[in-house]
Amino acid sequence: MTEERSRRAVLAGVGGSLVALTGCSALSGGDGSRSYDRDRLGQVLDDTSLPDRAEFPFTVPQAQLQAHRDRIRTQIDAVPTQPSVPNEAIAREIRERREALSERLKSIEEEKPAYRRLATLREIRGQAGELRGLSLAAIDAIERRQITAQRDDLRDRLAAFRAAWEYRGDGPVDAVAANAELEGLLDRAVHELEPWPLFPDSAVAAPERVGYIAGKLERSAAVIDDAEQFRNRLADRSTGRYRPALMATATWLRRRTRDQAARFESVLAADTLPVDRDAVDSPADHLHNLAAETARNYTNGELLDRIGEGGYADAVRYAAQRRTALRVLSTVSRQIGEGGGDAAPSVPSDPSVGEIANARERAIHAYRKATDSGVAPVATLTITPAYTELSQADLDVENGTDRGYVLFAQYWYVEQYARATAETTRELTHLLRSAAE
């Protein structure tokens, strides 16, 4: 993890004071929040980067990365540098894409950590497949039956993968994190294998569509390649099979969260937000709406569907995030309604830029503390929504937002979600280990 940042530069630069633009004009989006000076608000970020998003549950050896590079290179090399294509516009597009892909393949070596480089290589591989399909279609050298045969082969690989999949892991905590990654990869592969759009009657008449279809199949193949390697690596380190334990844990969490959600039935079931958008005029209003919207993203019905579809690790992840989102909604409601407390201070009505910087620092500290625990894989599954919100808030600052109230609410929410993640992690770890006994 990166070092804790100092706020001295931020606090010295902004003096802890709110700087509103002349006239305190309303923010875009219809709410009545104050506008902040963009330059001073931009200093909230200082020179600190976000913490790492997650702990990846698998090692990524160089051989795995190289296999993707080799496949990409093979497909690029199969496309002529000067294609003999009747349509000059398509010929120019093929040349430009080929050159761009070659350059991107060279620059990928700078991307770290390895699991991110791996994901990028899968995307580049799909783009290389799309380029290859485009070039073949442009000279009418690819047919529907070839695409159908390739798709059928990939579906057979998926079926074989599922038949041999035992939800292994080095204990139930390791199993839920590792198999959630596998489930995510397989979902992506299935999505890419959907037979849409349809292959055109004439490939040469719609080469870009053919290229898109070929790219989808190549991305699916890349995903399945990685999933197979990860599954084999998991079997090598595993101490048991944990499919029943994951299913039981998801079910237990669902029942607990269902009772928890009942206390907020009026908020969760409503068609409107707790505070009407046109009436929002404080960080507390933004915070209450953000907490309610996030909690509404997770439903009991959706969780039941995930359990029923057999995505047990994903069901555990979803249940844990739902549990945490409801915990945060409870905390935020208490903060707003009762003025907080020592662990949950009341939300300031008019935060300075310095206070927004403080809120960001607290959010990052809470995030790191939650993910640095002894059961980091479980915390990582749960805390993803907090990372998404933190990333979005920082991106808004980089893009020159003047919505200081919204930023403060986002950073405040991230802190509370990270705190709640710690509680959910303890509960989830206990349930996983109990179910595995």
Range of the domain at 170: 62-241
**103 in any annotated domain:** yes
> 172 and 40: one domain?
no
Predicted confidence band of residue 274 (pLDDT cuts 50, 70, 90)? confident
> 149 and 215: one domain?
yes
pTM of the model: 0.84
- Please give the C-alpha separations between residue 51 and each of 55, 63, 210, in angstroms, as whole numbers: 11, 28, 40
**Other C-beta atoms lying within 10 Å of the C-beta of residue 163:** 7
14-28, 80-94, 110-124, 418-432: least confident range = 14-28
User: Which of 181, 210, 241 is where one domain is finished?
Assistant: 241
Return the pLDDT at 2. 39
**307 in any annotated domain:** yes
> 252 and 283: one domain?
yes
Query: CA–CA separation, 312 vs 249, rounded Å?
Result: 9
Domain count, the chain: 2
**Residue at token pair 């997770």:** 298
> 325 and 252: one domain?
yes
Return the pLDDT at 334. 85
User: Which of 197, 216, 241 is where one domain is finished?
Assistant: 241
**2 in any annotated domain:** no
**Other C-beta atoms lying within 10 Å of the C-beta of residue 57:** 23
> 325 and 194: one domain?
no
Average pLDDT over residues 168-194: 95
Paired tokens of 355: 């206070």
Q: Which of 296, 314, 294, 298 is nearest to 306 (CA)?
A: 314
**Other C-beta atoms lying within 10 Å of the C-beta of residue 64:** 18
Model confidence pLDDT, tens digit, residues 140-180:
999 999 999 999 999 999 999 999 999 999 999 999 999 99
Query: CA–CA separation, 47 vs 50, rounded Å?
Result: 10
> 199 and 314: one domain?
no
4 or 56: which leads in pLDDT: 56
> 247 and 389: one domain?
yes
> 78 and 215: one domain?
yes
> 319 and 185: one domain?
no
